[in-house]
Chains A and B, each alone.
Chain A
Amino acid sequence: MVVGMGTRTTRVENEIIEYLPRMRRFARSLSRDQADADDLVQLTVERALTRLDQWQAGTRLDSWMYRIMKNAWIDETRRRQRQGRHHAPPEAGENVGSEDPDFEKRMRAMAVERAMETLPDDQRLAVSLVLVEGLSYKEASAVMDVPMGTLTSRLARGRKAMEAQLNPSAMEGQSDA
């Protein structure tokens, strides 16, 4: 069958391009450093393109790409840990003047980014996929390769850890359940 020449790949490519903004967002929630995040997107796209034959047509291409990115990120995180590299990205917003109309918004975003960075990897993934990327529990657990129960508990722990940093007063009287 040769009639599909070029058509399939062009269409899948267009779909990948359509997902790039979301992939970049997901990458940024995993890696605070913008250059690292875009490297992660690049690696994900490269892997997706070379492994297109492993993607099951009819399943969600975006979920498949999230999964590739998750694996790439975990690999990279472990590699850095082995090498003892602690990446401390510069504070991108340090030069932002307080007269900037978006100043407060940026400060809040930076606080979120810093808090996300303190989460254990599995909790950060759960929070990213569900809260930032808007995946259902079922989709997120499939991307993470864990049962739903594991996903929900990581999500709850991750959110409470975020809350403890972003809004500590709201945590008063809350149990550590």
Chain B
Amino acid sequence: MLDDETLIAFMDGELDDAEMDRVAAAVDADPALAERLDALQTTDTAIREAYHPVAEEAVPDHLVDLVRSSEASDDEPTVLPFRRPAPEAATPQRPGWTNYAAIAASLVLGVLIGGRLGGGEEGLMIFDGDRPIAGGVLAAALEQQASGETGPDGTAIQLSFNATDGTACRSFLHGETTGLACREDGQWVVQMTAPAETANGSVMRTASSAMPTSILDAIDARISGDALGAEDEAQLIANGWRRGNRD
């Protein structure tokens, strides 16, 4: 009989594929094992249900105020030194963009917000809560322009790809700023920006001569499969980036 530790790792989805299959088959074949798994699950469920409501409660105001009024927001240096994301930043079991705010905020979001794009050309990025949404000519280019083309205003789309969380993402170049945006809820959410530069030694060089390493790294961390081909991309553009139940 399999030991509890194995059954627990099975419940947590922490075994490799072959092991998952092996345990699943063993549980199917052995009623005693199935019963044991059931008991373990009953305990897990009780524990989860006991604490789940806490996260649904309203957060006390004093905690929110503490963050909002923090000295850090006034006195801290304006931009954190950018370091390469640690390997554990990629968490396959939790696709999503929990890191985008951190990446963008710590990098050179200021280039877009406070500098060239935001300053001179109103509306290229609009904040929806804390999500920077592409607007104006940037949104139009992301929505309609094929990769490799440069629009009349100089906005270039470099490549499109599917992210591991199912969203479609595109990298762009506008003026001296490059960036990465992904389509969420019908909008292009800017994930990060960086000053344009000549990338070298990168596998994606051909698609993106102006893409800095930080953007390439961000793409590498998110991309599912290869960059979209022209045909797939054209179809998405024609469909308003809707496909199946993804969007």
Contacts and interface: CB of A to CB of B under 8 A. Distances in A.
A8 B109 contact: yes
Contacts of B109: 4, 7-8, 11
Interface string B87-109: 01101011000110111111111
Name B's interface SS. helix
B90 to A, nearest CB: 10
B29 interface: no
Contacts of B198: none
Nearest to B35: A170
A24 B83 contact: no
Contacts of B56: 21
B64 interface: yes
Interface string A50-68: 1011011111111100000
Interface residues of B, number: 71
A58 B89 contact: yes
A110 to B, nearest CB: 8
B235 interface: no
B130 A15 contact: yes
B101 A15 contact: yes
Nearest to A56: B83
Interface in A87-118: 105, 108-109, 111-113, 116
Interface string A120-155: 000000010011100011110010000000001101
B113 interface: yes
Contacts of B81: 57
B40 interface: yes
A131 to B, nearest CB: 5
Given A58-B106, A177-B3, A137 B54 contact: no
A45 B64 CA distance: 10
B69 to A, nearest CB: 10
Interface in A154-177: 155-156, 159-160, 162-163, 166-167, 170, 174, 177
A138 B43 CA distance: 22
A162 B103 CA distance: 39
A28 B104 CA distance: 32
A14 interface: yes
Contacts of B4: 156, 159-160, 174, 177
Nearest to A18: B130
Nearest to B5: A156
A13 B224 CA distance: 30
A7 B110 contact: yes
B51 A59 contact: no
B30 interface: no
A131 B48 contact: yes
A113 B54 CA distance: 12
Given A28-B51, A108-B46, A170-B42, A57 B83 contact: yes
A34 B83 CA distance: 37
Interface of B: 3-5, 8-9, 12, 14, 36, 39-40, 42-44, 46-57, 59-60, 62-64, 66-68, 70-73, 76-86, 88-89, 91, 93-94, 98-99, 101-111, 113-115, 129-130
Q: 10 tightest CB-CB pairs across the interface, nearest first?
A: A58-B85, A3-B110, A57-B106, A4-B110, A3-B114, A112-B50, A170-B39, A14-B130, A11-B105, A109-B50
Given A112-B49, A170-B42, 19 more contacts: A4-B113, A4-B114, A6-B73, A8-B109, A9-B70, A11-B104, A11-B105, A15-B101, A21-B59, A56-B86, A58-B103, A61-B99, A109-B51, A111-B46, A112-B46, A132-B48, A137-B12, A138-B88, A166-B43
